[in-house]
């Protein structure tokens, strides 16, 4: 039965094609499996958080500074969330609202899931970002969700796993790896068990490594797409593109090359600064001084739920 189900599952995924907001063709899970995609990407996000270094507990005045940063993330996130739902009406079909979480992790970073969850690491607070730069970081992570990058990554992982399950038994790769051990024993049952275990182990390792490698190769394209969508989202929320570019460019020299997240932010800052040298992308709504806590536009449906924040993760 499994040998029949796997090809069917493979065909099911292959036929699920979509187009990103930037017009790029994508391979995503079909509608019946969108829930699985959200759960898988949520697990992947938690895996990133588990492997990240915890931040030390705050003390006295530093706790107040952390709380103020949490409120900034909430206010800016709300402003961006309303603009996102206004720009992309299909978001309500995928998840009810954006949720913003602060993870007590030492290094700066961010993560997200297909379910609309955006996580900002506590280390970002220590970068002393202005609102425009912080808004870009939030918007870029939200844009990965809007563009369906998590769904795309889940589909890649599943396709690699299915292909490995189909291909490895046919090639009898497990037997190759276990041939030396098989020659040392005359027990057929032991040999069969050893071969099965080896095949399973090799298949799992190859599947994981293959999916990670393929996703890593897609990462630069997804990042550039997220940057483009983020700038459009910022404009729709009332931020001035040149101000965002200037703040990111001022931040760039101080960013270290490690971890990978800050290296990606350096590259984003360089590309955004280059982009802003051309014609300016005008804001769709007037920017207001101190408007990080700006109310949601009245033109939005009144039953559209607000964004949610959890102050720690």
Q: Residue ranges of the domains in the chain?
A: 33-154+215-310
Place of tokens 């958080």: 49
Half-sphere exposure of 138 (CA within 13 A, CB side): 34
Q: At what angle do helices 188-236 and 149-171 cross, to 10 degrees?
A: 160
Whether residue 139 contacts residue 159, with contact meaning beta carbons closer than 8 Å, is answered with: no
- Distance set, CA 170 to CA 4, 10, 47, 163, 303 (Å): 14, 16, 32, 11, 54
Helix (H) or strand (E) holding 242: helix 241-251
How much is the pLDDT for 288?
42
Query: Where would I find the beta strands (DSSP E) of 1-141?
Result: 17-19, 25-27, 99-103, 110-112, 117-121
Nearest to 137, CA basis, from 289, 284, 255, 308:
255
Q: Over the range 76-89, which residues count as b (16 or more CB within 10 Å of their CB) and which as e?
A: bbbbbbbbbbbbbe
Cα–Cα distance measured from residue 108 to residue 122, given in angstroms and rounded to the nearest whole number? 7
DSSP state of 252: G
Q: pLDDT 10s digit of each residue in the chain, 313 long?
A: 455 455 545 544 444 566 666 666 656 656 555 666 678 888 889 988 999 999 999 988 999 999 999 999 999 999 999 999 999 998 998 899 999 999 999 999 999 999 999 999 999 999 999 999 999 999 999 999 999 888 888 776 766 666 666 655 545 544 444 445 444 445 555 554 454 444 444 444 444 444 455 556 778 889 999 999 999 999 999 999 999 999 999 998 888 877 889 999 999 999 998 888 765 555 555 444 344 444 444 333 334 444 445 545 5
Neighbours of 263 (CB within 10 A): 13
pLDDT value, residue 276: 82
> Would strands 17-19 and 25-27 be described as parallel, antiparallel, or unpaired?
antiparallel
Angle, vertex CA 68, rays to CA 62 and CA 71, nearest 5? 145
pLDDT computed for residue 198 by the predictor: 45
Give the model's pLDDT for residue 101.
96
Number of other residues whose CB lies within 10 A of the CB of residue 181: 13
Cα gap 218→47, rounded to integer Å: 20
The answer to whether residues 124 and 109 touch, using CB atoms and an 8 Å cutoff, is yes
Q: How many helices (H) and strands (E) does the chain have?
A: 10, 6
Give the residue among 112, 138, 109 at the shortest CA–CA distance from 124.
109
pLDDT value for 273: 87
pLDDT confidence of residue 30? 60
């Amino acid at each position: 039965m499994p040998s029949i189900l796997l090809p069917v599952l493979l065909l099911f995924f292959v036929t699920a094609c979509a187009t990103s907001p930037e017009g790029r063709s994508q391979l995503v899970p079909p509608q019946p499996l969108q829930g699985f995609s959200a759960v898988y990407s949520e697990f992947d996000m938690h895996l990133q958080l588990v492997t990240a270094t915890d931040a030390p507990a705050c003390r006295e005045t530093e706790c107040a500074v952390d709380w103020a940063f949490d409120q900034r993330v909430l206010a800016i996130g709300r402003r961006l969330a309303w603009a996102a739902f206004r720009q992309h009406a299909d978001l309500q079909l995928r998840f009810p609202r954006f949720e913003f979480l602060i993870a007590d992790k030492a290094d700066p970073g961010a993560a997200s899931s297909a379910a609309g969850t955006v996580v900002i690491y506590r280390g970002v607070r220590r970068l002393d970002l202005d609102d425009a730069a912080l808004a870009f970081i939030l918007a870029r992570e939200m844009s990965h969700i809007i563009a369906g990058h998590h769904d795309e990554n889940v589909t890649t992982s599943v396709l690699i796993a299915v292909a490995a399950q189909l291909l490895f038994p046919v090639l009898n790769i497990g037997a190759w790896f276990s041939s030396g051990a098989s020659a040392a024993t005359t027990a057929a049952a032991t040999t069969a068990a050893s071969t099965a275990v080896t095949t399973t182990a090799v298949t799992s390792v190859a599947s994981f490594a293959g999916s990670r490698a393929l996703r890593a190769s897609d990462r630069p394209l997804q990042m550039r797409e997220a940057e483009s969508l983020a700038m459009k989202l910022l404009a729709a929320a009332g931020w001035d593109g040149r101000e965002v570019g200037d703040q990111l460019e001022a931040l760039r020299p101080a960013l270290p090359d490690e971890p990978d997240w800050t290296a990606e932010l350096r590259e984003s800052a360089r590309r955004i600064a280059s982009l802003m040298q051309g014609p300016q992308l005008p804001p769709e709504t007037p920017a207001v001084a101190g408007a990080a806590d700006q109310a949601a536009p009245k033109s939005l449906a009144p039953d559209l739920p607000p964004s949610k924040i959890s102050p720690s993760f």
